[in-house]
Amino acid sequence: MEALLVSLIAVAGTLLGSTTTYLFQRQNAGRAEGFAREERLRQERMATYSAFAGALTAHRRAVVNLWFRRHEDPEGPEYRAARAECDQLGADLDHARFRVQLIAEDPGLMALANAAHKPVSAIHRAADKAELMDCENRSRDAVGAFVAAAAAQVLGRSGP
């Protein structure tokens, strides 16, 4: 009888140990999976936000080029080529902005993305080079504000 009791205690101890090990491993696997998911999201955000800033910068360059070509020869082939490039980069910028909208959890970040686009949109209405430079400077400042806020989100800080 004593041998049976010892055997039952041994089996119960083994089952308890196995169950405890299983629970700990399950918990650790859940944590690892959560960490991996967060890291993938962080990497995706970094890629998306930097692609948006790059698309905005490229589009701004194209709009400035278009402004100069329009003032030099609005009927010339260089103007038409600049307009086509500007249209393509504008479409690329819209695509990048949609990606930001899909991945950004912070509505303030999306507002900064939209605000960064406004000075670029105003460039074509610039009456002279001084106004053009003002639009470019406001665009650079707005992109800088977006990048600072995006970096804070990607790096897990509460503010820029």
Establish if 48 belongs to a structural domain: yes
Tally the domains of the chain.
Answer: 1
- Residue 93's pLDDT is 97
Q: What is the 3-state secondary structure (H, E, C) of 102-146?
A: HHCCCHHHHHHHHHHHHHHHHHCCCCCHHHHHHHHHHHHHHHHHH
Instruction: Find which of 8-12, 21-25, 150-154 is predicted with most confidence, using mean pLDDT.
Output: 150-154
CATH number for the domain including 62?
1.20.120
Q: Indicate whether 12 belongs to any domain.
A: no
- pLDDT of 4 > 90? The answer is no
- Residue 8 lies inside a defined structural domain of this protein: no
In a domain, 47, yes or no: yes
Q: Is residue 5 part of a domain?
A: no
Mean pLDDT of the chain: 92
Which pLDDT band, with edges at 50, 70 and 90, does 112 fall under? very high
Residue with tokens 């504000």: 145
Cα gap 152→116, rounded to integer Å:
17
Q: What percent of the chain has pLDDT over 70?
A: 98
Range of the domain at 94: 42-155
